[in-house]
Amino acid sequence: MSNSLVISVDAMGGDDAPDMVVDGVKLARKRFPDVRFLLFGDEARIGPLVAGDSALSAVCTIRHTASAVSGDAKPSQAVRSGRQSSLWLSIEAVKKGEAAGVVSAGNTGAFMAMAKLILRTLPGIDRPAIATLLPTLRGESVVLDLGANAECNANNLVEFAIMGEVFARTVLSLDRPTVGIMNIGSESGKGTDTVRDASARLQDSALPIRFMGFVEGDDLGKGTVDVIVTDGFTGNVMLKTAEGTAKLYSQFLRNAFLSSLLARLGYLLSRSALQKVKARTDPRRYNGAMFLGLDGVAVKSHGGTDALGFSNALAVAIDLVRQGFNESIKDEIAKVQVLPSTVSVSHAV
Amino acid sequence: MSNSLVISVDAMGGDDAPDMVVDGVKLARKRFPDVRFLLFGDEARIGPLVAGDSALSAVCTIRHTASAVSGDAKPSQAVRSGRQSSLWLSIEAVKKGEAAGVVSAGNTGAFMAMAKLILRTLPGIDRPAIATLLPTLRGESVVLDLGANAECNANNLVEFAIMGEVFARTVLSLDRPTVGIMNIGSESGKGTDTVRDASARLQDSALPIRFMGFVEGDDLGKGTVDVIVTDGFTGNVMLKTAEGTAKLYSQFLRNAFLSSLLARLGYLLSRSALQKVKARTDPRRYNGAMFLGLDGVAVKSHGGTDALGFSNALAVAIDLVRQGFNESIKDEIAKVQVLPSTVSVSHAV
């Protein structure tokens, strides 16, 4: 057992923590029976939840923590006063080598700030980014940044492109994923100086990236490229707009199916087919956003998710660890830095 | 006939112009039999399209123009060399008082640049914005800016809030529409300096606006506020992401209904209910984005729309003219400028 993969879990993060978190670990245990979990949080609350399930107890170790970071705490404040929190200590377990990756459904800003301090950014990376997979007509695409950096310069976007490309190769098993930068038109003169500058650098660079130029908002659903690069403000609004539109559409559908007896009958007949659509667009399926650019695997779950969603975030962390993602991305970034035309050189021009 | 409302139309703008445009005018004529249309474009191409329909001929006047602005022309280039184009002359007809409003499905950037030069911005408005209505769970909301200004400062966002509020009162017939600023979280510390600054100004100002603070991407679908204010980069990406997600969802549904005989039968039974959903989310229904902040009614149609979509853009222009929108917005902006705490004063602080 001592050689098995260990995932560190902030058991106090998320709207329905710790119950939702422990239930998520329960589900993950069934999918990954040889993984162990290190749960950080209030032992008085977590203990009873774990104790009732002997299979769960066998793969969980509880580490009592006296405090938790609240959902509305400012990152700077959390970093100052939260050194004994479940969030801080669960990240520290990765740094100490006790765990191979950490998952939290808690305060995103605090998680990122603490992870930067504890795990450190990778050499050559200025700013970490948050990346996730989203469903498209062609399958799935990687989108980053989803909100770690509200304002970005061209160099940040180029770094996101490099990291996103490695992420897509790892999680989507693609040989040469395509990369695009989000803009308000596909012509080269469109948009802000930042996106035009980033695009020019990727176009001119010797980076081994299949850069396809600019993409637009509807290219997310179309799956035009495998990796969509954008600043954290736009990415966050995009992600939530897509989620909100899917909900709107499914609510309109629900109303339509309830609008007549015939429609209700139609729903019953097509129900199993429709449930596949629901499953494919279920936000819980895409739960688990990776912090890219840190020296360690750190995965953020939605705060409002349920046990199934949390178990998917755990699965993302487990997959990334198993596929040696952290080592791959370090290698790739090191390669980029010895290329004749590197990011840093372009940056200086 | 000489006293009837006249709409000026750029007959050469749009992917399938002039055929699509003339067909759109045909549909609009049936809905608005007392409106006249001034069509600018290549008479040799438009003439035959109109001539075959005597009811259409009776309400259309063709003005021959020798050139048209191409879809990929840069705005600056179009402004320099396009003074005899259908786009320029159709806008000029509004300035000259020959028409009460103009509609084009052509090059957005060129349309905005020419409209600014010809119609001028309203006193007190720094930058015009593009606004449209989008479907929500509660009905419809106004979103602006959709791409006129890729980069905005806090003052621009405050102006958009004022203009969007008047627009919502006019087109949605609301007494006191609610207004929110798009951000990546609802807490006051979230996001960029620009959105925080704009929010603080709207919160502190004596403006008669029901400002609700920050909203997030999923608030668009929820219809949390009546007016969503954002910069043109974010707004454009949001709009296209929402459209792309709706298409993705409807494609998933189509596949589901085709996946089994039972599902096909279910579709047939619920078909008429489902077609209502399709109609409600049909982008053609929401075609017609208003240029706000200009001294005149100018409405942009999607370039790729069809006759039905174009007729809806014409309907937007006709409604705005009939409701005296241009006069209302001038009055409102004048009122704002005599308020004790005005936009300009806040700006100076």
B127 to chain A, closest Cα gap in Å: 16
Q: Would you state the structure tokens that stand for residue B284, as one six-digit string?
A: 């053609």
In B52-135, alpha helices (H)? 54-59, 75-81, 86-95, 108-119
pLDDT band with cut points at 50, 70 and 90 for residue A335: confident
Contacting residues for B213 by C-beta, under 8 A, at least 6 apart: B180, B181, B186, B188, B199, B203
Helix, strand or coil, per DSSP, at residue A163: helix
Pairwise CA distance, residues A312 & A317, whole Å = 9
B38 contacts B90 by C-beta, under 8 angstroms:
yes
Asked whether the predicted pLDDT for residue B258 surpasses 60, the reply is: yes
Residue B332: partners with Cβ closer than 8 Å, 6 or more residues away: B162, B165, B166
Residue B226: band (very low, low, confident or very high) from pLDDT cuts 50, 70, 90: very high
CA distance A46 to A23: 11
Tell the burial category of A121 from Cβ atoms under 10 Å away from its Cβ (0-12, 13-18, 19+): middle
Q: Do the Cβ atoms of A270 and B257 come within 8 Å?
A: yes
User: What mean pLDDT is predicted for residues B156-177?
Assistant: 93
DSSP B121: B
B312 pLDDT more than 60: yes
Q: Which of A80-84, A342-346, B254-258, B267-271 has the lowest mean pLDDT?
A: A342-346
| Residue appearing with tokens 């139309």 | B9
Q: In angstroms, what separates the C-alpha of A249 from chain B's closest C-alpha? A: 7
Cα–Cα distances (Å) from B204 to A140, B197, B229, in that order, read 44, 11, 17
Q: What is the pLDDT of residue B330?
A: 87
Phi and psi based region of residue B211 (left: phi greater than 0; alpha: psi -120 to 50; beta: remaining): beta
Q: Which residues of A touch B271 (CB under 8 A)?
A: 266
Count other C-beta atoms under 10 Å from residue A143's C-beta: 23
Residue B30, φ and ψ in degrees, nearest 5: -65, -35
**Contact between B267 and A270 using a beta-carbon 8 Å cutoff:** yes
For residue range A144-165, list pLDDT tens digits in order: 999 999 999 999 999 999 999 9
Question: What is the rounded distance in angstroms from the CA atom of residue B110 to the CA atom of residue B13?
Answer: 11
Does position B338 have pLDDT exceeding 70, yes or no? no
**Contact residues for A267 (Cβ-Cβ < 8 A; gap 6+):** A257, A274, B266, B270
pLDDT at A348: 34
Tell me whether residues B241 and A240 touch, CB distance under 8 A.
no
Higher pLDDT, A343 or A229: A229
Secondary element (H or E) of residue A182 = strand A178-182
Residues A263, B240: C-beta atoms closer than 8 Å = no
The one-letter amino acid code at B184 reads I
Q: Which of B182, B241, B277 sits opposite A256 (nearest CB)?
A: B277
Distances (CA, A) of B222 to A241, A249, B199: 10, 11, 21
Q: Which amino acid is at A140?
A: E
Which residue of B257, B262, B269 is the best one to mutate when testing the A interface, meaning the one whose CB has the most A CBs within 10 A?
A: B269
Mean pLDDT along residues B89-95:
98
For the domain bounded by B126-284, which CATH number is listed?
A: 3.40.718.10
A218: which 2 tokens?
């509807």
Q: Which residue of A has its CA nearest to B267?
A: A266
> Domain A126-292 maps to which CATH number in 2.40.128.110, 3.40.718.10, 3.30.930.10, 3.10.580.10?
3.40.718.10
Cα-Cα-Cα-Cα dihedral sign, residues B341, B343, B345, B349: positive
Of the candidates A147, A263, A269, which has its C-beta nearest B265's C-beta? Answer: A269
Residue of B nearest to A238 (CA): B238
- Packing angle of the helix pair A325-338, A307-322 (nearest 10 deg): 50
B270·A248 Cβ contact <8 A: no
Q: How many helices (H) and strands (E) does chain B have?
A: 14, 11
Q: Which residues in A lie closer than 8 A to residue B304 (C-beta atoms)?
A: none
Q: Is there a shared CATH topology between the B1-125+293-324 domain and the B126-284 domain?
A: yes
Identify the CATH assignment for B1-125+293-324 out of 1.10.20.140, 3.30.450.40, 3.40.718.10, 3.30.200.20.
Answer: 3.40.718.10
State the pLDDT at residue A34: 95
Mean per-residue pLDDT of chain A: 91
pLDDT tens track for A95-149: 999 999 999 999 999 999 999 999 999 988 989 999 999 999 999 999 999 999 9
Q: Cα angle vertex A254, ends A235, B302, to 5°?
A: 50
- In 3D space, the residue among B200, B133, B159 whose CA is nearest the CA of residue B329 turns out to be B159
Helices (H), B126-214: 154-171, 193-204
Task: With beta carbons under 8 A apart, name residues in chain B contacting A136.
Answer: 248
Contact A234 B237 (CB under 8 A): yes
Higher pLDDT, A293 or A348: A293
Helix (H, G, I), strand (E, B) or coil at A278: helix
Mean pLDDT of A45-72: 95
Nearest to A336 by CA among A325, A345, A324, A348: A345
What is chain B's mean pLDDT, rounded? 91
Which residues of B are less than 8 Å from A277 in CB distance? 249, 252-253, 255-256
Residue with tokens 């296209």: B240
pLDDT at B339: 53
**Separation of alpha carbons B127 and B155, rounded Å:** 10
Smallest Cβ–Cβ distance between A256 and the set B147, B249, B273 belongs to B273
DSSP run (H or E) holding A141: strand A140-144
Nearest to A217 among B136, B238, B253 (CB): B238
Q: Where are the alpha helices (DSSP H) in chain A?
A: 19-31, 43-51, 54-59, 75-81, 86-95, 108-119, 154-171, 193-204, 218-222, 232-257, 261-281, 307-322, 325-338, 343-348
The answer, yes or no, to whether residue B340 has pLDDT greater than 60, is no
Q: Could you tell me the fold of the domain covering A1-121+294-321?
A: Isopropylmalate Dehydrogenase (3.40.718)
Q: Are the beta carbons of A217 and B233 separated by less than 8 Å?
A: no
Q: Pick from B150, B189, B268: which is nearest to A192 by CB?
A: B150
Packed helices A19-31 and A43-51: angle between N→C axes, nearest 10 degrees: 40
Nearest by CB: B184 against A72, A150, A257: A150
Cβ atoms of A160 and A132 within 8 Å: the answer is no
Q: Is the pLDDT of residue B145 over 70?
A: yes
| Cβ–Cβ under 8 Å, residues B133 and B144 | no
User: Are the Cβ atoms of B237 and A184 closer than 8 angstroms?
Assistant: yes
Which amino acid, residue A335? Answer: K
Q: What is the pLDDT of residues B167-210, one digit of tens each?
A: 999 889 899 999 999 999 887 778 999 999 999 999 988 888 99
Domain boundaries, chain B: 1-125+293-324, 126-284
Distance CA B143, CA B166 (A): 13
Query: Is a pLDDT exceeding 50 seen at residue B45?
Result: yes
Contact A241, A233 (CB under 8 A): no
| DSSP E strand boundaries for chain B | 6-10, 36-41, 60-64, 101-104, 129-135, 140-144, 178-182, 210-215, 227-229, 289-292, 297-300
- State yes or no: pLDDT of A346 exceeds 70: no
Cross-strand bridge partners of residue B64: B41
Q: Rounded to an integer, what distance in angstroms lies between the CA atom of residue A95 and that of residue A118?
A: 7
pLDDT in tens, A187-233: 777 899 999 999 999 998 888 899 999 999 999 999 999 999 999 99
